[in-house]
Structure 1
Amino acid sequence: MASLLQEEERWCRSAVMLLLDLAEMVHIYVVVVRISEFVVWCMGGRNGGGNGMGIIGDGVAQKIVRIYWASKEARPSLQLRATDLSCSGSGSGVMMPVVVKIFGLLRKQHWYKPRCQTYAKLLVMLGKCRQPNQASLLLEVMRSDGLQPTIDVYTALVSAYGLSGLLDEAFRTVNYMKIIPDCKPDVFTYSILIKCCIKLGRFNMVQQILDEMLDLGIECNTVTYNTLIDGYGKAEFFELMESSLTDMLESGTCHPDVFTFNSMVGAYGRSGRIKQMEKWFEEFQLMGLKPDIMTCNILVKSYGKAGMYKKMGSVLDFMKRRFYCPTVVTYNIIIETFGKAGDIEKMDEIFLKMKHQGLKPNSITYCSLVNTYSKAGLLSKVDSIVRQVENSNVVLDTPFFNCVISAYGHAGDVDKMVDMFMAMKDYKCKPDDITFATMIEACLAQGMIEAAQDLESEMIKANKK
């Protein structure tokens, strides 16, 4: 129950941030009372009379207003932004329609003034949520508002198409931009296009884009080079990665930054090429770049993966000397490392240290613990983790439930497995193919053929939605 209330509170705060951001984008200069009344109207109903749009209930709407009043003088203290409501975590597919609906309501207000920047930001959000059809419709809405798309809007549209896997549409949009005055594609447009090609593994198209940029006299900037270095590194195309760094250095106008640093070091670290990782760690420092907490986390993970625990410890000492405080990510990496190594005692020690440092374990932390306990056959410790989570305000996700369901399934405890499956609904976590496959396997192992068939039918039904 506590978790549901906290989730509602988080949603409300996110809704407030969305409205504040949209208000900022469309220059709504009105008194707080009008904004708060509008929130109640569009979210639930006016004065409880049910005359509003009814996106969510009046109780939640009233809470949004209270949070708004509390946050209007201290906005920086609220860290959840519009993107938390629309495109993060398990809510990405669920909350985005609400964002679009709220924007539609804003457009109907007499004080609404259409701005290209508003549409550009919404297009970026739709792209991150993989909703290209909505992005296309939004462009038409923009035109109906009497606005002509700018280069930023078209670039956001290219991103929306590209990130959704519609590369042909993305390239078609870029070609269309070329014939529009004042909307010629620039380095940012092409950088986005390169990023989309890399994400989809279409590396053969990257060189074509670079050649086109050269023909048009568009020079790569730091973002372009970093996109290339990061993409080639993740694909383990190390020669191309280093060649891109060389081009960057020889350009004379673009200089490596900490993102370049982390991309190069991370690429070699992930692939277990420790010597090259250490070499570039030193090289970038000689260039005057300082490692940040992310760099340290990359080193910790790479050494841990390679079983080089002494060097992992030396990185933690380095962090202490530089006054870098280990983050939740740092502890999660160490917990996962010792868990995979089967060193449960050390893993538990790090977990306790993490909590003593005042850091809040998250779903990833608990997944690592559950996986390790499950492999060691320590089901009582899995029970303990489940109780901890139930009594905390940690935000759970589908991967966590999959871990616990797998643990109980492999142990043959079908009842607890089913209990966790039912609990997913309470936490608003949607079962995926892994959830169903794990449960089907467990049921078959116990000779529960009919239950396995029912789950298979439910999985097919869920995938059709």
Structure 2
Amino acid sequence: MASFPTQTATTRVLPFPTQTATTRRTSPTRSQALSDPEPVSGEHSSKMVTRTIAKEMEKLRRREARERKEMANRQVGSQKAVSVILRREATKAVIDKSRKKGPINSKKLLPQTLLEALHERVTALRWESALKIFELLREQLWYRPNPGVYIKLIVMLGKCKQPGKAHDLFQAMVDEGCVLDCESYTALLSAYSRSGLLDKAFSLLEEMKSTPGCEPDVQTYSILIKSCLQVFAFDKVHILLSDMANYGIKPNTVTYNTLIDAYGKARKFSEMESTLVEMLGDRRCQPDVWTMNSTLRAFGNIGQIETMEKCYDKFQAAGIQPNVQTFNILLDSYGKVQDYKKMSAVMEYMQKYHYSWTIVTYNIVIDAFGKAGDLKQMEYLFRLMRSERIKPSCVTLCSLVRAYAHAGKPEKIGGVLRFVENSDVLLDSVFFNCLVDAYGRLGCLAEMKGVLEMMQEKGCEPDIITYRTMIKVYSFKGMDSHAKELIQLLPTVKRPPFKRDKPDF
């Protein structure tokens, strides 16, 4: 991918001074000096040259320091200008022209300031702010269209599920005369496929095939294959793989890893095995740690621990070293089969060889010990997590609530809620549904009903799972009137999304 062009402050390098630039008023002329040189001792001459060089170097240092300071001041001024202009855009207010330094000229901002601000917002996926800065950039007198900047913005919009904005930016790129290539088309195709617009993505793929200089490459196909696999469109994946073969495009390691991971999650083990064999037969694509992790996860999720361990040994024998994600997969797999001895062995290994625990690691072990009823160990890990300054998530809190509910300790759930009140953890319907289920199991019906008020205070609407859980509890307790009241609300409530993105689960 193209990168943002940046402007760096260069230091002026001057030639080493060989003679002084000034001459004493009493010194002879150049012709006199050449015809009748004044005899000077070698030691005295050396001292004069040394002093002269020192003076010149001091002048250079002062000049460079002054230039650096001026550049820093211009950058600070430009950054303040960008900030003020963005505030103006956000509030639609007119900039106060009575400022001491006069009105801001928004068309003469420093390139480095704008590009750094743009890069910062693109990295943080703050797409609205990024587009405002890009419009400001296009207003500058020094602006020239740069395909790399457009591509980064289109990729960002794809990640933010803004395919319409990505298309508009792609069209603006065309209107400004940027030369289109495979990378620019692939960025837009990625934006379509990430939002599930597979028809548009396939249509764009056909357009790329017929556009000279923009023919799809292995990255284009890999992105589209991944999007198809996420919606289990395996038939489309086979079409894409055949298409690649027809055009002589060989899969790379990313393509193979994507296929192995998807087949493993779908429990299509024969396809996963054949893909792995094909990968091993391709000398250009050697398995890596992602290949190992996908394979281990596939067998660990279905409880085939022995097969998982054999694969782990084979990958290690091939020279592939594990990473933190590998150990997280092992911990999760052992936790599902309640093999806490092997879990402890993995934890000790990570500590011995200084593998830093992530939020995923903590969530896995907290959930495992919670399900085992070992509340003491679970609470110790939760305190350790906070001492390591790793912020708990909804996944962490759900594990605590479920464990306390199974242990019959409603007062401990109250402690979790007090922690929530004193923290900035972003709560979602999954946590509140877990809370409803926990209070229902404990028979705390007043507290269960109070969860609805908590959801309203937090701006989180109940979904169909919330009401069905409450209906089940009311029906079990013989409270038919309460159950019927909620049943009447079911057609009006929203259903949870088919896929929940939990990066820390």
Partners of 1:137 and 1:441 lie apart in 2 by 49
Q: Which residue of 2 aligns with 1:368?
A: 399
User: Residue 335 of structure 1 aligns to which amino acid in structure 2?
Assistant: I
Partners of 1:111 and 1:119 lie apart in 2 by 17
- Root-mean-square deviation (CA, aligned residues, Å) is 3.4
Shift of 1:27: 5.1
Question: In the alignment, is the contact (CA less than 8 A) between 1:268 and 1:274 conserved in 2?
Answer: yes
Deviation digits for residues 364-398 of structure 1, max 9, x if unmatched?
21121012223444221111111112213434444
Question: In the alignment, is the contact (CA less than 8 A) between 2:125 and 2:160 conserved in 1?
Answer: no
Partners of 1:200 and 1:343 lie apart in 2 by 38
User: Residue 32 of structure 1 aligns to which amino acid in structure 2?
Assistant: V
Question: In the alignment, is the contact (CA less than 8 A) between 2:253 and 2:286 conserved in 1?
Answer: yes
Q: Which residue of 1 aligns with 2:59?
A: none
Matching of residue 165 in structure 1 with residue 165 in structure 2: no
Partners of 2:388 and 2:86 lie apart in 1 by 43
Q: Which residue of 2 aligns with 1:422?
A: 456
Q: Which residue of 2 aligns with 1:17?
A: none
Partners of 1:115 and 1:297 lie apart in 2 by 42
Greater Cα radius of gyration, structure 1 or 2: 2
Shift of 1:451: 7.0
Question: In the alignment, is the contact (CA less than 8 A) between 2:463 and 2:494 conserved in 1?
Answer: no
Structure 1's 266 and 457: CA in aligned 2 closer, same or farther, altered over 3 A?
A: closer
Structure 1's 231 and 416: CA in aligned 2 closer, same or farther, altered over 3 A?
A: same
Partners of 2:191 and 2:391 lie apart in 1 by 34
Shift of 1:80: 8.3
Shift of 1:155: 0.7
Structure 2 unaligned blocks of 5 or more: 9-73, 96-112, 498-505
Shift of 1:214: 1.6
- Of residues 183, 204, 213 in structure 2, which corresponds to 1:152? 183
- Of residues 83, 102, 107 in structure 2, which corresponds to 1:39? 83
Question: In the alignment, is the contact (CA less than 8 A) between 1:26 and 1:113 conserved in 2?
Answer: no
Matching of residue 285 in structure 1 with residue 328 in structure 2: no
Partners of 1:296 and 1:45 lie apart in 2 by 47
Q: Which residue of 1 aligns with 2:285?
A: 254
Helix, strand or coil: the match of 2:145? coil
Q: Which residue of 2 aligns with 1:25?
A: 4
The answer to which of 391-400 and 374-383 deviates more is: 391-400
Partners of 2:77 and 2:269 lie apart in 1 by 58
Shift of 1:459: 3.5
Q: Which residue of 2 aligns with 1:175?
A: 206
- Of residues 33, 50, 61 in structure 1, which corresponds to 2:93? 50
Q: Give the TM-score, by structure 2 length.
A: 0.71
Question: In the alignment, is the contact (CA less than 8 A) between 2:122 and 2:153 conserved in 1?
Answer: no
Partners of 1:340 and 1:41 lie apart in 2 by 53
Question: In the alignment, is the contact (CA less than 8 A) between 1:269 and 1:302 conserved in 2?
Answer: yes
User: Residue 191 of structure 2 aligns to which amino acid in structure 1?
Assistant: A
Q: Which residue of 1 aligns with 2:70?
A: none
Partners of 1:457 and 1:235 lie apart in 2 by 32
Shift of 1:416: 2.8
Question: In the alignment, is the contact (CA less than 8 A) between 2:435 and 2:451 conserved in 1?
Answer: yes
Matching of residue 383 in structure 1 with residue 414 in structure 2: yes
Partners of 1:455 and 1:28 lie apart in 2 by 60
Question: In the alignment, is the contact (CA less than 8 A) between 2:324 and 2:355 conserved in 1?
Answer: yes
The answer to which of 29-38 and 293-302 deviates more is: 29-38
Q: Which has the higher contact order (CA 8 A, sep 6+)?
A: 1
Partners of 2:276 and 2:178 lie apart in 1 by 40
Q: Give the TM-score, by structure 1 length.
A: 0.76
Q: Which residue of 2 aligns with 1:343?
A: 374
Shift of 1:405: 4.5
Matching of residue 354 in structure 1 with residue 385 in structure 2: yes
Structure 1's 315 and 154: CA in aligned 2 closer, same or farther, altered over 3 A?
A: same
Structure 1's 373 and 260: CA in aligned 2 closer, same or farther, altered over 3 A?
A: same
Shift of 1:456: 5.4
User: Residue 187 of structure 2 aligns to which amino acid in structure 1?
Assistant: A
The answer to which of 279-288 and 345-354 deviates more is: 345-354
User: Residue 50 of structure 1 aligns to which amino acid in structure 2?
Assistant: A
Shift of 1:26: 6.5
Question: In the alignment, is the contact (CA less than 8 A) between 2:331 and 2:346 conserved in 1?
Answer: yes
Q: Which residue of 2 aligns with 1:272?
A: 303
Helix, strand or coil: the match of 1:339? helix
